[in-house]
Amino acid sequence: MLRKLDFEEIVKARNIRNFINGEYIETGRWFEKRAPYDGHVVARVAEAGKAEVDAAVRAAREALHGPWSKLVVTERVEMLYAVANEIDRRFEDFVEAEMTDMGQPAHFIRHVDVPRGAANFKLFADIIKNVPTEFFEMATPDGRGALNYSVRKPVGVVAVICPWNLPFLLMTWKVGPAMACGNTVVVKPSEETPQAAALLAEVMTTVGIPKGVFNVVHGFGPDAAGEFLTTHPQVSAITFTGETRTGAAIMKAAADGVRPVSLELGGKNAAIVFADCDRDAAIEGTLRSAFANCGQVCLGTERVYVERPIFDEFVSRLKRGVEAMKPGLPTDPASGMGPLISQEHRDKVLSYYKKAVEEGATVVTGGGIPEMPEALKAGAWVQPTIWTGLGDDSVIAREEIFGPCALVMPFDNEAEVIRRANDNDYGLATAIWTTNLSRAHRVAAAIEVGIAWVNSWFLRDLRTPFGGVKQSGIGREGGVHSLEFYTELKNVCIKL
């Protein structure tokens, strides 16, 4: 039975501190986290400076060689299972944290964000327990031979830099495998979403994860906690999810010391809808892919190519679907959409709404700010929006907006749509809607992305590789692929 949340209870501000070497550290410098739906202060957060980041990295380095390193894999696995179980036990606390930080409907957070957080610990615990070892016998000139085997060692202290759009899911997606592989971590959550990391620190303490294995520093990016962490010489590897521009800065930071970096970056994902598709499924899938989480999903669709014979019908059905999405509070079961993360992000999204009109778009629906009740007027609400009438060279078709909006464009044949979908700097994901099996395979093979969905979207088996091509990222995480980043393979050669 899910605990019913009292909204009065949620709106009380709380203080969030850094978590370093198992202790909660204040800094004397506080910043405020405001709820996206009404602007009230949700939390005061202690901002980490250079000294706190340094203390966190040192604690992580010490823990790397302390009790954590003495655990055998099965013991580490047990601890990660305990973390997952404790997350499940505190499920509603995480729901509340994500709701007040992100403002998205509770049913979305309960269905996606929090269960995946727990799953990220269980899955990587299972993977590390079952990972095979390479073994090669070789001949030697003296006839006695030699044996080779490889072992996976932790890479060291991993800096985990997170975005705000699915805070708990994306943080645990990195912390889970990093810890499963025996690393220690310093997490820098987004300044917009500090609460889930703070709660995870409590979980780590409750289940007895040794001090210093999991650390959290709060604060901002450039010339602040984020940059202090990524430039810290004692950090062994950096895993980052966020904007492409930030990824480039982090890659430069990683070059000093030649440190590995994993980058999950932005997207400008295309959906491709063929006339032979299951139209109900394509409409439902496109509505989700463009508007879930108020369009703040890296895998979300912002370009929709629709084959000309069904273009008009598709646009009018999309319009109906969008207009049925009523914005509302996370706790309101009737809420179809939350607000954007902040006023600053809303300004950015609205600047694209303006740009679309300047470029000559037809606004099919939306394009502005919805009328909200007085109590929610200070929220970062924005109307879900559909445009037609622009081509592939428009700014709206080329740049990531990261809001609830999609540009719908007609196409006439398969070769043309493949060329147009690929003509973009990004390459994260695509959704292809067709009932023609051969065409599905052909298009999936030809589209330049890391993830191609056919007749679905956001269907994720966590064992599969995840990542983007072109400016959408470097490297793959997910399943055993995560081990390539979070471990160093060492070969041992024994002369017999």
Active site residues: 264, 298
Q: Residue 212, interface with ligand NAD (CB under 6 A)? A: no
Window 2 to 61, contacts with ligand NAD (CB under 6 A): none
Q: Cα–Cα distance between 341 and 296 in angstroms, integer?
A: 9
Give least dist CB 450 to ligand NAD, A.
Answer: 8
* Separation between Cα atoms, residue 379 and residue 328, nearest integer Å: 10
Taking the least distance from each CB to ligand NAD, the nearer of 182 and 267 is 267
Q: Are 67 and 210 in contact (CB under 8 A)?
A: yes
CA distance 348 to 222: 19
Which lies closer to ligand NAD via its Cβ, residue 317 or residue 476? 476
Q: Does 90 bind ligand NAD (CB under 6 A)?
A: no
Tokens at residue 269, please? 């994902």
Of 143-151, 264-272, 363-371, 430-438, the window that binds ligand NAD (rule: CB under 6 A) is 264-272
Tell me if 158 sits within 8 A of 57, measured CB to CB: no
Q: Burial level of 220, CB count in 10 A (0-12/13-18/19+)?
A: middle
Residues 308-347 within binding reach of ligand NAD (CB under 6 A):
none
Q: Distance between CA 446 and CA 440 in Å, rounded?
A: 10
Residues 177-196, interacting with ligand NAD (CB under 6 A)? 188, 190-191
Annotate 159-228 with DSSP letters as a single string: EEE--SSSHHHHHHHHHHHHHHTT-EEEEE--TT--HHHHHHHHHHHHHTPPTTSEEE----STTSHHHH
Is 135 within 8 Å of 27 (Cβ atoms)? no
- Choosing from 100, 246, 385, 424, the residue that interacts with ligand NAD (CB under 6 A) is 246
* Per-residue contact flags (x/-) with ligand NAD for residues 348 to 387, judged by CB under 6 A: ----------------------------------------
Residue 264 C-beta: closest distance to ligand NAD, Å: 3
Report d(CA 164, CA 184) in Å as an integer: 22
> Strand 146-154's sheet: what is its strand order?
135-138, 146-154, 487-495
Pick 279 or 481: Cβ nearer ligand NAD: 481
With binding defined as CB under 6 A, does residue 399 bind ligand NAD? no
Q: Which stretch binds ligand NAD (CB under 6 A): 2-10, 35-43, 120-128, 239-247?
A: 239-247
Listed ranges 45-53, 111-119, 246-254, 319-327: which one lies at the site for ligand NAD (CB under 6 A): 246-254
Taking the complex as a whole, the smallest distance from the CB of residue 45 to ligand NAD amounts, in Å, to 12
Total chain residues near ligand NAD (CB under 6 A)? 32
Only segment of 203-211, 220-228, 279-287, 378-386 that touches ligand NAD (CB under 6 A): 220-228
Alpha helix segments (H runs only) across 44-90: 50-64, 67-70, 73-89
The reply on whether position 250 binds ligand NAD by CB under 6 A is yes
Looking at the DSSP assignment, which residues form a beta bridge with residue 433? 273
- C-alpha 211/C-alpha 88 separation (Å) is 22
The sign of the dihedral angle between the CA atoms of 111, 114, 119, 124 is: positive
Q: Tell me which stretch binds ligand NAD (CB under 6 A): 22-30, 138-146, 245-253, 404-412.
A: 245-253
Establish if 249 lies at the interface with ligand NAD (CB under 6 A).
Answer: yes
Touching ligand NAD, residues 427-486 (CB under 6 A): 428, 468, 472-473
State yes or no: residue 424 binds ligand NAD (CB under 6 A): no
List interacting residues with ligand NAD (CB under 6 A).
161-165, 170, 188, 190-191, 220-222, 226-227, 230, 241-243, 246, 249-250, 264-267, 298, 400, 402, 428, 468, 472-473
